Amino acid sequence: MEGKSYSVAVAGATGAVGQEMIKTLEQRRFPVGAIKLLASERSTGKELFFKGNPIKVEKLTKDSFKGMEIALFSAGAGRSLEFAPAAAASGAVVIDNSSAFRMEPDIPLIVPEVNPQAIAQYKKRGIIANPNCSTIQMVVALKPIHDVARIKRIVVSTYQAVSGTGLKAIDELLSQTRAILDAQAVQRKVYPHQIAFNCLPHIDAFLENGYTKEEMKMVHETQKIMEDPTIRVTATTVRVPVLHSHSESVNIETEKKITVKDVKEVLSRAPGVLVVDNPSLSEYPLAIHAAGRDETFVGRIREDESIPNGINMWIVSDNVRKGAALNAVQIAEILIEKYL
């Protein structure tokens, strides 16, 4: 409704995603009437800023959401399981960044460029799930191709920035890098191995099938968001010593033949996508260029010459921004425009 403003709670406000959410609400001029910033007891009383005004962080409890209309959650899946139902029962619509509810059939899993119509299902439980960052950027680029050529199979390998693990992991990469350059011993707390000058084929916990949870999130979330359980997806997720933006090498096999020219044409019109693909000028998507940007960048688009209907591409996006905070705020924008 024009002129209306909304009370917004941010749970996990002191974290990498929470701070980006606050920044994104400001930058996109989301109509915030009142804002409540919530985190653990450790942060109680700490000051964060919204539109230049200091706001004291409060401890997240089940009573935090009285009078709140929208609750953005990024305090981990355990906190979402514990507090999101209470927030919804208080009347707030929850937009949850964790994996807690993503695969529940009566909770919509939303990427605004892909399946905005599914937001309507939020009325059942008062909760909308935000997908995993690696899934979001992949489906933003692939849905427009799926619509014209039907993707049968996806093979993806990710190169994920440490910011995906949170603020402590950013510190770990920087301090390990400094230690190595200063010929000092490397301290390790967040990752099971040194991350500086290294690649770890291990994100989230290993499962019995040999995949990690992060890999299986990409499989199941893609099928749910694309509303097509027949798409076959196999993923290898890798942590790399990059601060911001996840990169993905993606191979697709389509039912209908689609040429490289057509893929570029379709993606050049796709919402949220920017094609950067001039190999002769060494122009292709880069993590350092995507950092701080809203778009999902796609390049290195080429035919997979090993099969009849295959395409390879390189997809890069800011994981904390489009992969988490921006996607959540875009969902909130649709919510207030269409439903609240």
Site string for ligand 3JN, 94-133 (x = CB under 6 A): ----xx--------------------------------xx
In angstroms, the CA 88 to CA 204 distance is: 28
How are beta strands 151-160 and 246-254 bridged, if at all? Answer: antiparallel
Catalytic site includes residue 133:
yes
Residue of closest CB approach to ligand 3JN: 164
Distances (CA, A) of 108 to 66, 73, 101, 125, 207: 23, 15, 9, 10, 25
Which of 193, 199, 246, 289 is the catalytic position? Answer: 246
First to last CA, the chain: 8
Q: What is the gyration radius of the CA atoms in the chain, in angstroms? A: 20
- The torsion angles phi and psi of 120, rounded to 5 degrees, stand at -50, -30
- Interaction between residue 212 and ligand 3JN (CB under 6 A): no
Least distance (Å) between residue 147 CB and ligand 3JN: 26
Among the listed residues 133, 146, 199, 220, the single catalytic one is 133
Span of 157-165, 184-192, 276-284, 310-318 interacting with ligand 3JN by CB under 6 A: 157-165
Interface with ligand NAP (CB under 6 A): 12-18, 39-40, 42-43, 60, 74-77, 79, 97-98, 130, 132-133, 164, 166-168, 323-324
Q: What are phi and psi of 6, to 5 degrees?
A: -125, 145
Q: Are strands 246-254 and 310-317 parallel, antiparallel or unpaired?
A: antiparallel
Q: How far is the CB of 98 from ligand NAP (least distance, A)?
A: 3
Rounded Cα distance, 296 and 323, in Å: 10
Closest separation in Å from C-beta 218 to ligand NAP: 11
Q: Are strands 273-275 and 296-303 parallel, antiparallel or unpaired?
A: parallel
Binding mask 69-98 for ligand 3JN (x = CB under 6 A): -------xx--------------------x
Q: Cα 324 to the chain's mean position, in Å? A: 4
- Asked if 43 interacts with ligand 3JN (CB under 6 A), we say no
- In angstroms, the CA 313 to CA 298 distance is 7
CB of 149 to ligand NAP, least distance (A): 27
Q: Which residues, 313 to 332, sit near ligand 3JN by CB under 6 A? A: 319
Smallest separation (angstroms) from ligand NAP to the CB of 295: 17
Binding site for ligand 3JN (CB under 6 A): 76-77, 98-99, 132-133, 160, 164-165, 203, 217, 319
Residues with catalytic function? 133, 246
